[in-house]
Amino acid sequence: MTHVLLVEDDPMLGTNLKLNLELEGFQVEWAQSLKAAFEINEQRAFQLALLDLGLPDGNGLDFCRRVRADGSRLPMIILTAQSDEDSVVEGLGAGADDYVKKPFSNKELVARIRSALRSPQVREEQIRVGNMLVLLEQRRVMVEGEEVPLNRREFDLLKILIARPGVVVTREAVIQQLGESAEQIFDRTVDSHISHIRAKLKKAKECNVRIKSEYGVGYRIVVLD
């Protein structure tokens, strides 16, 4: 099922959009402010976002810019009552993929959504844990717009851990999933890579994701309160 983030402060329009999109088979999370949009986006990965421009605490384009700064290719469609050319150009320049002018029909909006979802860019898998976004195809780790530089082995190791946040992953499972034999990689080697990842995550601005050790067993990903 396609997960859509709807950012719209108008209660009546938001209610109607959510209902109609769900009738079309989409799963919709509705945020009525910019702050709520950022919080919801940190909790899960979406396949598309619908953004109103005029929000009580900011502009939908601020969300668009932040998402693009994180390196995400998430398709975004602007919902705007502003029909002047400058507003449209600004939205596209901020990273939006399309725009729909209010008032619009549900049929038109669904057609625009399906068109955006057919774009190759949506095939990229993403995992979000806390405020860390992992772009699997690009092999990049982003925290609040800042990239955490990981080498090949470090990225592969982190990917294994974040696939099961909060769950202890044993060293044996890590070695097996890395596709290495016992002769090629040892516990202390894994520990060394984990240590390097920890240092880089701590260095990243405001990163709230940490790797905890379970003595004699393995590691788990946790999100700080």
- Structural domains present in the chain: 3-123 (3.40.50.2300), 126-223 (1.10.10.10)
Indicate whether 187 pLDDT > 60: no
Residue 85, pLDDT > 70, answer: no
Is residue 23 pLDDT above 90, yes or no?
A: yes
Gap between the Cα atoms of 211 and 188, Å rounded: 16
| Residue 31 pLDDT > 80 | yes
Mean pLDDT computed over 12-17:
94
Note the pLDDT of residue 185.
57
Using the predicted structure, report yes or no on whether residue 172 has a pLDDT greater than 90: no
What is the reported pLDDT for 90? Answer: 79
Terminal-residue alpha carbon distance, the chain? 30
CB 68 within 8 A of CB 61: no
Closest CA to 13 of 67, 61, 81, 96: 81
Could you tell me the two tokens for 201? 């995550």
Could you tell me if 128 and 134 are in contact, meaning their C-beta atoms sit under 8 angstroms apart?
A: yes
**Pairwise pLDDT comparison (81 vs 207), residue with the higher score:** 207
Q: What is the mean pLDDT of the chain?
A: 86
Smallest CA-to-CA distance from 162 within 224, 225, 209 is with 209
Q: Locate all alpha helices (DSSP H) within 26-166, ordered by sequence.
A: 34-43, 60-69, 85-93, 106-117, 152-162
What pTM value is reported for the model?
Answer: 0.66
Say if residue 146's pLDDT is above 70.
yes
Highest mean pLDDT among 87-96, 110-119, 185-194: 110-119
What's the confidence (pLDDT) of residue 10?
A: 93
Q: How confident is the model at residue 136 (pLDDT cuts 50, 70, 90)?
A: confident
Q: Say yes or no to pLDDT of 180 above 90.
A: no
Q: What is the pLDDT of residue 182?
A: 46
Indicate if the pLDDT at residue 123 is higher than 70: no
CA–CA distance, 45 with 135 (Å, rounded to integer):
11
Give Rg (Cα) of the chain.
20
Instruction: Judge whether residue 204 has pLDDT over 50.
Output: yes
